[in-house]
Amino acid sequence: MLRVVNLLRGAIRGYRGLLLDLPSEMEDAVNGLARGETSYDEFLEEVQRGGHLPEPMGAWEYTFRPLLEALPRISPPGFMVRCYGSREREFARVEAAVRIAQLTLRAALRGRVEVDEWRGILNRSIGLEEEAISEGAKTIGEIARGDSICLAEMGGIGLRKHLSRSGFDVEVFYVERPYHFTPLAILKRRMGLGPVEDGEIERLVRCHVEYIRNYIYRFENRDRAYYEWIYDKIPWLRGRMKREEIDILSRILEHPS
């Protein structure tokens, strides 16, 4: 998200609004923050009081806090933030993520992959993501006005397909380039395309468990863990990365102020 903030800082004045995949119930609070009417702590208290996001909010804050804290500094006068997400879908996605975390822990402790359990929860997660893209595109079509920037994590291509069919001119820009999917993301993409054999599910789940155990648990933050994994496991990308840049990233994320 730090890279997103840097890109927005240079480009945001050419657009009328920013579209965020946050529950629509948060929109007033986000705009109050963007206009400098509330502090980030006050914003967070309002979100918690309203029950707009599931607790605990650590993972959500890790992703969105750098952007939200930067909004008062980078938003030009009259700029509008619109939220195209859903509180119900957000709670459902977190529920699925918790189940995946539970299965990951069980696989790590027992050394056994419960393939049927994994197939069920990943199909559920894939369905939620597809629903979020479809409903998100519908909401964007209703609320977007003029040239807008839309942040969509990994759903950008799906949003473009839906919005293009509705007559919108959409350009997708990848912040992370080149990017390599993590083992679980690879498995979900394959399952989204068609049936995947039990052996392949087990293989990729074991790779996912290794990623969590050896990188996520080992390093201070998810970004550092991801880049360390890339450096160790993806030889063709290693030449495009520098160890000193990974170390700098880690220090920035630990001390964002």
Residue 19 pairs in a beta bridge with 82, 150
pLDDT of residue 255: 47
Can you give the residue ranges of every domain in the chain? 2-187
pLDDT of the chain along its 257 residues, tens only? 666 777 777 777 778 888 999 999 999 999 999 999 999 999 999 999 999 998 888 888 888 998 999 998 888 777 889 999 999 999 999 999 999 999 999 999 999 999 999 999 999 999 999 999 999 999 988 888 778 888 887 778 888 888 888 888 888 777 766 678 999 999 999 999 999 999 999 999 999 999 999 999 998 788 889 888 988 888 877 766 666 555 655 554 454 44
Taking alpha carbons only, the member of 207, 204, 198 closest to residue 229 is 207
Determine contact, residues 192/126, Cβ cutoff 8 Å: yes
Whole-number Å distance between alpha carbons of 130 and 127:
5
Whole-number Å distance between alpha carbons of 199 and 115:
9
